[in-house]
RNA sequence: GCUCCGGUAGCUCAGUGGUAGAGCGCUUCCUUGGUAAGGAAGAGGUCGAGGGUUCAAUUCCCUCCCGGAGCUCCA
């Protein structure tokens, strides 16, 4: 027998007695008028629902306000509906696609005759404000599939989506004023609760993400509860724009792409090359210390090798075409592993030799589709800091341990915090389930043994083995793909690689692919943005500029520059223009140190040192002390 | 690859159906400087490429190349 009242338990443990079918909004009102006003939605037994949802039975209830982290997604999803309402008001014939909340905002896809222009976006933003002012309540309705077909008879995209529902499935629609959408919800109570909306951009997007389907027009936007948060978000976008490696790469003379060379190929100019070289030198020292051996393999190899490796079959579309030389076909390598395997196979290997770790700054070529190319971040020719570890299955945990140390050491040097993800067996996978389970267990238990937090990407591994990925977090909080370690059950089989065990039998070793930096191009591109072009001293292309105040002190300055160069410091003499001009130029070029030399400095054997970004604050130092400071900062690879 | 936007001096960009502009940079000269641009003069362009319309095309139209915002993709 159902009673007429229900018991509602609040997060603090107190209980409310409410009439059955009371709504969450009514519950909020019972708790307090302030909460009732601030309420946006409710969590009932762990499920987030609209405030208008009747409570049918005893339950746990939490009222969500803008202070709750879940609320932002709600706001943005509702903002997407407000956008669609606005677009439909202006363009009545617009077909409506999907409009979800995403990481930093929301989008909505529309099928329209004419693509949207920036002026359209402004008009829509104006209309969005009107829809918000109108304060239409969001009304949820449960409908049958038949009813829904009727409601959306003018919306072909929605009808298509509708047909995917089971006949007896719960279908809900939401109305706000004139706009009706097929939507699971929940939403904020009314359009008036949506605030601080900014439409950011419009671009084409395929219906259902399928490139064979209709192209819709997607509008991206974002929304925040507080105006200040919106402003800060827009400032972050501005900041990201200022850090764009393509802009800084041009300004600081680091790299270029040249139409004559071809799309997706990077020309490293001298200053960019210096940075890259420093990184490579550092990494070589690091990995030699960690027991790697450095190898080199050719850029062009016989196609036969890629038939054995399976690259041609699985990856052929992305490889550069074959070069036919007197009947033998050759390919630019898309990966370094086959070459390393050939080196491994140059001799019969004993378990006593393992693990064998081959490392190469290996340049590979991949024919990426034109639309994906992007500065240094996505290119067609790039150099990986690639390594392959050949070991026994028992040695895998130890190798993972060693790698965690290596990665941690390296990422600290560059100043990147990071997170980890273990990617597990996908549906289609090579190797036995036990093999995968053992490998995944090995990865996870090493991490757990060290008390390291990690995410799991279920089914995200490659078909040939599980993966451990590191995500870097840059100076403005963006995530970048970092080091990866990949177990490989495939290539050892294909190449039939072996070692002789203690039992004098042949065994198949396990192979690990790993990159730390990934691609030099992408990593340096990322670093440019991470440091906003202001590289720490050890990486700065020009470390010190010496500025004599007038030609009178030129000779002294020249000698000092040479002294610095003799110590391996990248010093430059800048003597021509006015001092102010040279200071400004040094700051704009982000030179870490400038040393001014005038009458006083020549007499005292000192130098007036100005640190990048420190403004007028200068420090007159003995030259010896200045040199010491530079050498120490370079030696420790200080982040500055 | 797809949709849209763009390509003008080394760089950033303005402009026009009738002989092409600015700022920075570069060269030369003057200035000999004390902490974010001293002054002057000069050089520098097949207006992305090809085709079409036109008396005339950098400008309008078409094709291609390259770049950008996204989509898709990143084994």
Q: Is A120 part of the annotated catalytic residue set?
A: no
Report CA(A214)–C1'(B3) in Å, whole number: 10
**Residues of A21-42 as b/e, b for ≥16 C-beta within 10 angstroms?**
ebbbbbbbbebeeeebeebbbb
Q: Catalytic: which of A193, A245, A388, A610?
A: A388
Count CB neighbours of A363 within 10 A. 18
Closest nucleotide to A319 by C1' from CA: B75
Residue A55 has pLDDT above 90, yes or no: no
* Residue A216 φ/ψ region, left for φ over 0, alpha for ψ in the -120 to 50 degree band, beta for the rest: beta
Measured CA to CA, the distance from residue A587 to residue A354 in angstroms comes to: 51
**In Å, what is the separation between the CA of A172 and the C1' of B5?**
38
Confidence of residue A548 (pLDDT cuts 50, 70, 90): very high
Confidence of residue A2 (pLDDT cuts 50, 70, 90): low
pLDDT tens-digit series, residues A350-389: 999 999 999 999 999 999 988 899 999 999 999 999 999 9
**Letter string b/e over residues A256-274, b meaning 16 or more CB atoms within 10 A of that residue's CB:** ebeeeeeebbbebbebbeb
Instruction: Report the predicted TM-score, pTM, of the whole model to 2 decimal places.
Output: 0.90
Tell me how far apart the alpha carbons of residues A97 and A161 are, in angstroms, rounded to a whole number. Answer: 9
How far is it, in rounded angstroms, from Cα A30 to Cα A33?
A: 8
Cβ-based contacts (< 7 Å) between A 221-240 and strand B: none
Alpha helices in A531-607 (DSSP H): 554-566, 579-588, 599-604
* B66 C1': nearest CA residue: A259
Mark whether A388 is an active-site residue. Answer: yes
Comparing A631 with A114, the larger pLDDT belongs to A631
Structure tokens at A457: 């990407």
State the Cα–Cα distance between residues A199 and A416, nearest whole angstrom. 31
pLDDT of residue A169: 81
For A70-95, how does the pLDDT look when each residue is reduced to its tens digit (9 = 90+)? 889 999 999 999 999 999 999 888 88
The mean pLDDT of chain A is 91
Question: CA triplet A63, A67, A71: central angle to 5 degrees?
Answer: 70
Catalytic residue among A513, A530, A545, A574: A513
User: Could you tell me the end-to-end alpha-carbon distance of chain A, in angstroms, rounded to an integer?
Assistant: 72
Across the range A17-31, mean pLDDT stands at: 86
pLDDT tens-digit readout, A334-360: 999 999 999 999 999 999 999 999 999
Protein-to-nucleotide distance from the CA of A40 to the C1' of B75, whole angstroms? 45
Q: Provide the CA A58 to C1' B72 distance, Å, integer.
A: 47
**A366 part of the active site:** yes
Residues 437-466 of A with CB under 7 A from strand B: 462-464
- A59, A337, A474, A486: which is the annotated catalytic residue? A337
Q: How far apart are CA A491 and CA A462, in angstroms?
A: 13
Distance separating alpha carbons of residues A467 and A484, to the nearest angstrom: 7
Percent of chain A scored above 70 by pLDDT?
100
Percent of chain A with pLDDT over 90: 63
CB-to-strand B under 7 Å, chain A 595-634: 596, 598-601, 608, 610, 613, 615-616, 618, 620
Closest CA to A484 of A561, A560, A398, A385: A385
Task: Give the number of other CB atoms < 10 A from CB of residue A622.
Answer: 12
Q: Which bases on strand B have an atom closer than 7 Å to a protein beta carbon?
A: 1-5, 11-12, 31-38, 65-75
* Residue A453 among the catalytic residues: no
Helix-strand-coil percent breakdown of chain A, rounded to 5?
40, 30, 35
Q: A295-306: per-residue pLDDT in tens?
A: 999 999 999 999
Examine the residue annotation and report whether A391 is marked as an active-site residue of this protein: no
CB A350 under 7 Å to nucleic chain B: no
In this complex, the answer to whether residue A555 has its CB under 7 A from any atom of chain B, a nucleic strand, is no
The reply to whether A378 Cβ lies less than 7 angstroms from strand B is yes
Q: How confident is the model at residue A1 (pLDDT cuts 50, 70, 90)?
A: very low
What is the rounded average pLDDT of the residues A250-254?
Answer: 94
Which single residue is written with the structure tokens 């000698």?
A559
Residue A374 annotated among the catalytic residues of the structure: no
Domains of chain A in sequence order: 5-64 (3.10.20.30), 74-229 (3.30.980.10), 255-530 (3.30.930.10), 544-635 (3.40.50.800)
The whole-number average pLDDT for the span A210-226 is 88
Total Cβ atoms within 10 A of residue A373: 15
What are A138-155's pLDDT values in tens digits? 999 988 888 888 888 888
Q: Which chain A residues 306-335 have CB under 7 A to strand B?
A: 311, 314-315, 318, 334-335
Establish whether this prediction's ipTM goes over 0.85.
Answer: yes
Q: In this predicted structure, what is the pLDDT of residue A46?
A: 86
Which distant-in-sequence residues (6+ apart) come within 8 Å of A218 by Cβ?
Answer: A107, A108, A109, A110, A202, A203, A204, A205
Q: What is the pLDDT of residues A273-317, one digit of tens each?
A: 999 999 999 999 999 999 999 999 999 999 999 999 988 888 888
A400 versus A30: the higher-pLDDT residue is: A400
CB atoms within 10 A of CB A599: 11
């Amino acid at each position: 027998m159902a009673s007429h009242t229900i018991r509602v338990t609040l997060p603090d443990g107190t209980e409310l007695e409410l009439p059955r079918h009371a709504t969450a909004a009514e519950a909020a009102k019972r708790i307090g008028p302030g909460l009732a006003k601030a309420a946006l939605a409710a969590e009932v037994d762990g499920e987030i629902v609209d405030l208008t949802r009747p409570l049918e039975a005893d339950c746990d209830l939490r009222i969500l306000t803008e202070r709750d982290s879940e609320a932002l997604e709600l706001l943005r999803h509702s903002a997407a509906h407000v956008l669609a309402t606005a677009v439909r008001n202006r363009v009545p014939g617009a077909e409506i696609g999907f409009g979800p909340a995403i990481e930093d905002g929301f989008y909505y896809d529309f099928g329209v005759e004419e693509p949207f222009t920036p002026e359209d976006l402004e008009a829509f933003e104006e209309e969005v404000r009107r829809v918000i002012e109108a304060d239409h309540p969001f009304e949820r309705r449960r409908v049958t599939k038949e009813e829904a077909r009727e409601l959306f008879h003018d919306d072909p995209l929605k009808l298509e989506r509708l047909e995917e529902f089971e006949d007896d499935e719960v279908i809900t629609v939401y109305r706000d004023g004139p706009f009706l959408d097929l939507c699971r919800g929940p939403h904020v109570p009314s359009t008036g609760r949506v605030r601080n909306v900014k439409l950011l951009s419009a671009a084409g997007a395929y219906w259902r993400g399928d490139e064979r389907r209709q192209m819709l027009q997607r509008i991206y936007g974002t929304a925040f509860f507080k105006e200040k948060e919106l402003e800060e978000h827009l400032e972050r976008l501005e900041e990201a724009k200022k850090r764009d490696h393509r802009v800084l790469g041009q300004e600081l003379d680091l790299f270029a792409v040249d139409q004559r060379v071809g799309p997706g190929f990077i020309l490293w100019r001298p200053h960019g090359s210096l940075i890259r070289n420093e990184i490579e030198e550092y990494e070589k020292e690091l990995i030699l210390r960690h027991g790697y051996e450095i190898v080199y393999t050719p850029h062009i190899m016989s196609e036969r090798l890629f038939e054995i490796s399976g690259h041609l079959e699985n990856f052929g579309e992305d490889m550069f075409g074959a070069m036919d030389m007197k009947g033998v076909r050759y390919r630019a390598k898309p990966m370094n592993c086959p070459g390393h395997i050939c080196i491994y196979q140059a001799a019969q290997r004993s378990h006593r030799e393992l693990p064998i770790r081959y490392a190469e700054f290996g340049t590979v070529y991949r024919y990426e589709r034109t639309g994906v190319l992007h500065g240094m971040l996505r290119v067609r020719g790039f150099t990986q800091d690639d390594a392959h570890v050949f070991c026994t299955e028992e040695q895998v945990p130890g190798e993972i341990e060693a790698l965690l140390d290596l990665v941690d050491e390296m990422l600290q040097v560059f100043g990147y915090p990071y997170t980890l993800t273990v990617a597990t067996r996908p549906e289609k996978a090579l190797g036995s389930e036990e093999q995968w389970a053992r490998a995944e267990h090995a990865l996870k238990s090493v991490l757990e043994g060290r008390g390291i937090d990690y995410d799991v990407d279920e089914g995200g591994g490659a078909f040939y083995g599980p993966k451990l990925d590191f995500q870097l977090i840059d100076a403005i909080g963006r995530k970048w793909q970092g080091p990866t370690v990949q177990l490989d059950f495939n290539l050892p089989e294909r190449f039939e690689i072996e070692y002789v065990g203690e039992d004098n039998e042949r065994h198949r070793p396990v192979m690990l692919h790993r990159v730390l930096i990934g691609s030099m191009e992408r990593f340096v591109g990322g670093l440019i943005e991470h440091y906003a072009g202001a590289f720490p001293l050890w990486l700065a292309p020009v470390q010190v500029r010496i500025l004599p105040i007038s030609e009178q002190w030129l000779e002294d300055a020249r000698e000092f520059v040479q002294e610095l160069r003799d110590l391996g410091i990248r010093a430059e003499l800048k003597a021509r223009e006015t001092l102010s001009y040279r200071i400004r130029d040094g700051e704009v070029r982000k030179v870490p140190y400038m040393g001014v030399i005038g009458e006083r400095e020549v007499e005292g054997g000192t130098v007036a040192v100005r640190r990048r970004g420190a403004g007028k604050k200068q420090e007159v130092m003995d030259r010896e002390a200045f040199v010491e400071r530079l050498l120490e900062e370079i030696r420790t690879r200080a982040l500055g």
